[in-house]
Amino acid sequence: MQTKSSYRVLKWTMLVGTAASLATACVVTTSGDGGGGAGVGDISFAGESSSTSGKTSTGGSTSEAGKTSGGSGGASTAGTAGTMAMGEAGAAYVAGLCDADGATPTMEPSCDPSANDAGKDCKICLKAKCCSDWQTCYGETPTTACGWGPTEADDGQFDCIQHCFADGAMAATNADDLLTECAGKCALQCDTPDNGNITDATNALITCANDPATCQDACFPFN
């Protein structure tokens, strides 16, 4: 029987270190339409920035991980660590930076409501109640591993954790344990540089998103 914690905000710096032994690349794509329709657990995903609003999967669907492979936002204009260098169309994708790299985005997406948000409950909630943390995760110049994966086709840490949680929620008996396990699997390109831990930006966004007073029901439902 599943149990639901009344307040599932974890001390990630401690718990994720323990889960680091589970760290393997969590490369997840969504099967939904990226518009908040059918997808992994019918969860609406966050992470669509104003200038880089999605990555397109092989099935043509768009997730909300802030990628730039043909999503609704078009090509990025990120700088030294973005997916496209300013003015260099066709530049090679650069993975989001880790805490060890000192990544601090200088270009942040707007938290204002957008027509592209329709049906994406988690994203809508994060923009309204976790705006600063959401902006840092999906900001650019440079991008961070929170919202930008190891390759253009991969999720960043936040979306990887959210997808992993949605995949395991039906079988799991404890939400905290599942979230910790997923965090351990989703350090991605920062597995070595950040010693298997998720970034501070990812930690902050999950802490806000997983608060029952903010976006837990929209982003990490567990019944």
Helix (DSSP H) and strand (DSSP E) numbers for the chain: 7, 0
What single DSSP character describes residue 186?
-
User: Distance (Å, rounded) from C-alpha 43 to C-alpha 166?
Assistant: 7
Question: pTM for the complete prediction?
Answer: 0.65
pLDDT digits (tens, 9 = 90+) for 160-188: 999 999 999 999 999 999 999 999 999 99
> In the structure encoding, which two tokens stand for residue 153, read together?
């086709």
Model confidence over 137-153: pLDDT tens digits? 999 999 999 999 999 99
Q: Which pLDDT belongs to residue 63?
A: 36
Helical segments of the chain, H only: 12-19, 121-129, 131-138, 157-168, 175-185, 200-209, 216-219
Q: Which residues of the chain have pLDDT under 50?
A: 1-88
| CB-based contacts of 213, cutoff 8 Å, min separation 6 | none
pLDDT at 60: 32
Q: Where are the domains of the chain?
A: 26-219
